[in-house]
Amino acid sequence: MADPEDQLDALHRDIIDVLREGRATPSYLSERTGESRQLISQRLRDLQLAGFVEKIHKGLYELDEDPREPAGDLPAGAVVEDPDEDLEAAPVDDTERERLIDEVPSSGELAERRADEVLKMYDLLRERGEAEKGDLLGVVDVEATGYASEASVWSNMVKGRDTLRALPGVETPREGMTTWRYTDDSA
């Protein structure tokens, strides 16, 4: 059987290098590698089919196995995690979720789904520390929101509303800038 690494081109390797740093969206990978989103998506599919990358949510990928590492070896810089330790950021409390449900346009189950999509953007922002609008929208399931496009999601659920920007630790982009930031809200 052929060595899996022999099947990788330079872009596959670049994507794996970025994913070794953490989860990423195709937009982020495109920005980091300088390649088109379409080409990135093709290579991500290759890596998924080979079992090296996992699509953990719509538009969000993580490295499952680096084919360049011998089985059982940890990648360079890997941190051994305590399985009992909760390394994720503290979840948003029910009060914040309820506030989001009240803030997004709609009511009932649709409002809950919309609030949950805002929380996905928040989780990505907390995980990365900063993100562009396209990265934030990349984790949203547009269909779940009931809107027709990412642009509609943004304009109706984020822009002009106290949803994402009102969550603890979120800093909106400064005038003329596009990068959203997360600062530790526990300080």
Q: Which two tokens stand for residue 93?
A: 């409390």
Q: What pLDDT digit, counting tens, does each position of 21-31 carry?
A: 888 888 899 99
Residue range 4-63, CATH number: 1.10.10.10
Q: Tell me, what's the pLDDT at 83?
A: 37
- Torsion-angle region of residue 116: left (phi > 0), alpha (psi -120 to 50) or beta? alpha
Establish whether domains 4-63 and 94-182 are of one fold. Answer: yes
Percent of the chain at pLDDT > 70 equals 82
Which DSSP helix (H) or strand (E) runs through 180?
strand 179-182
Residue range 94-182, CATH number: 1.10.10
Q: Tell me, what's the pLDDT at 80?
A: 41
Q: What pLDDT digit, counting tens, does each position of 42-77 carry?
A: 999 989 888 888 888 888 888 888 887 765 444 444
Q: Tell me, what's the pLDDT at 140?
A: 92
The predicted model gives 8-16 an average pLDDT of 90
The predicted model gives 119-140 an average pLDDT of 90
Going from N- to C-terminal start, the domains of the chain cover 4-63, 94-182
Q: Tell me, what's the pLDDT at 76?
A: 46
SS3 for 33-93 is: HCCCHHHHHHHHHHHHHCCCEEEEECCEEEECCCCCCCCCCCCCCCCCCCCCCCCCCCCCC
The pLDDT of residue 107 is above 80? yes
pTM (2 decimals)? Answer: 0.52
Q: Tell me, what's the pLDDT at 160?
A: 74
What does the alpha-carbon distance between residue 113 and residue 140 come to, in Å, rounded to a whole number?
10
Q: How confident is the model at residue 113 (pLDDT cuts 50, 70, 90)?
A: very high
